[in-house]
Amino acid sequence: MAVHPSVLDLIGDTPIVDVSELSPNPSVRLLAKMEGQNPAGSVKDRIALAMVADAEADGTLVPGRTIIEPSSGNTGIALAMIARIRGYPIKIVLPENVSPERRQALEVFGAEIIPSPGEEGSNGAVRLARRLADENP
């Protein structure tokens, strides 16, 4: 069994499984990429890691800066995990009507949750996140 130096090394290293037996057409080879096997549990791990790496590379994200992200789900969870590992504080603007499980996952990774009105949905979270970013450049 391999021991990896960082959980981030596992992002994207998900298995491919032959699920041909599930196909209604026996002559079709059907493969599935098991993105749920990423460390934070979804394909959004890849996106979040790319966002952080790009922001670090172009100097937008440097030690001491805080990540602010509107999210209602997996991207926020993945960003919170990556921020924790890389040492960045993170604020997730989350609609109030998001499930308790998503809230708990964010809390486990140390994210500060900033509630936005549930009735405004994701658009309300985006507006609030932009305002927070403008107020705290």
What is the amino acid identity at position 21?
E
Residues sharing a CB contact under 8 Å with residue 20, sequence separation 6 or more, in sequence order:
26, 28, 29, 30, 31
Q: Give the residue numbers annotated as catalytic, written as ranges.
A: 44
Question: Is 115 in contact with 96 (CB distance < 8 Å)?
Answer: yes
For residue 116, the cross-strand partners are 95
The tokens of 41 are what? 């549990």
CA distance 95 to 125: 6
